[in-house]
Amino acid sequence: MPPSKSTATSRDGTTLAVYTYNNAAAPVLVCVHGYPDNASLWEPVAELLADDFQVVTYDVRGAGDSDHPTSTAAYALDRLQEDFRAVIDQVSPDRPVHVLAHDWGSIQAWHFVTAPDLQPRIASFTSISGPSLDHAGYFLRKRSLAALWQLLHSWYIFYFHLPWLPELGWRKGWAHRAFNRLEKQQPDDNRSLGDYVNGIKLYRANVIPRLLRPAQRRTDVPVLAVSPDADPFVTTPLQTDIARWAPNLTVKVIRGGHWMPRNDPGLVAQLVLQHTRQVARWGT
């Protein structure tokens, strides 16, 4: 069945489109998409998990049917955290939620699960292809071969900080072709031009400040870090060398590329079920 659609309003007045796969008696799983996706990324995964969870997805600000703030500052991680809080206040005010996130959704969610006031509201976190920017800041300071290898993989971040050229590339179409060829995937018809253009502000609002002045952000939330071994953007050490920050950590290195939720939703669903069931056993 298709999800029901509602809205949530963030602290700054931004309206978010929220989609709920109704199973009210089940634990709540909130899925956070990355860039340049919208909530439709999670549809195949949600359908597989709808018997076990009340699955909730939402369009991150700037994407899909959510509001598209024009200022770069509106895309800072603290604003995104307020969005997440507005969603969980609406869908699960009285019980913790499980979190599944990918790419920039994971970058956001690391900010959520390392926020002391939000940790009690998160039962588990499954992260795919997305590190904490603060953890990345410390990782890159090691000046190791692993850090250098990640910097080479991160060329696109420098590109997204250029003025006007990244937006022009999406509008003209050549950036789509280049990134699709790099990831060896077909174009996603569910993405709009706004998804591509607005989300560039995520990089400009957050990456440089966090990498230059990282905070020591820790969490006791049970974390499953999933690293596809053929990800052209995020290396495995950046995602998994985090035990000092997340001691309740499980790591899975799997075969595949960056857009695992789209290309292998069955494996994503399987990993989420395994992780959340393990968390439930730990709690007994």
Q: What pLDDT shows up at residue 185?
A: 66
Q: Is the pLDDT of residue 283 over 60?
A: no
Residue 100 bridge partners (DSSP): 31, 126
Q: pLDDT by residue (tens digit) across 243-269?
A: 999 999 999 999 999 999 999 999 999
**What is the DSSP annotation of 54-119?**
EEEEEPPTTSTTS----SGGGGSHHHHHHHHHHHHHHH-SSS-EEEEEETHHHHHHHHHHTSTTTG
Q: What pLDDT shows up at residue 284?
A: 39
Residue where the block lists tokens 């603290």: 78
Residues 6+ positions from 3 with CB-CB distance below 8 Å:
19, 20, 21, 22, 46, 55, 57
Q: Is the pLDDT of residue 151 over 80?
A: yes
Burial of residue 248 (number of CB atoms within 10 Å: 0-12, 13-18, 19+): middle
Whole-angstrom Cα distance, residue 37 to residue 196?
8
Section 84-104 average pLDDT:
97
Q: pTM for the whole thing?
A: 0.95
Q: pLDDT by residue (tens digit) across 100-143?
A: 999 999 999 999 999 999 999 999 999 999 999 999 999 998 87
Q: pLDDT by residue (tens digit) across 14-61?
A: 999 999 998 888 999 999 999 999 999 999 999 999 999 999 999 999
**Exposure b/e, 190-219, CB count within 10 A at least 16 = b:** ebeeebbbbbbbbbbbbbeebbeebeebbb
Section 201-229 average pLDDT:
96
CATH of 4-281, one of 3.40.50.410, 3.40.50.1820, 3.30.420.40, 3.40.50.1370: 3.40.50.1820
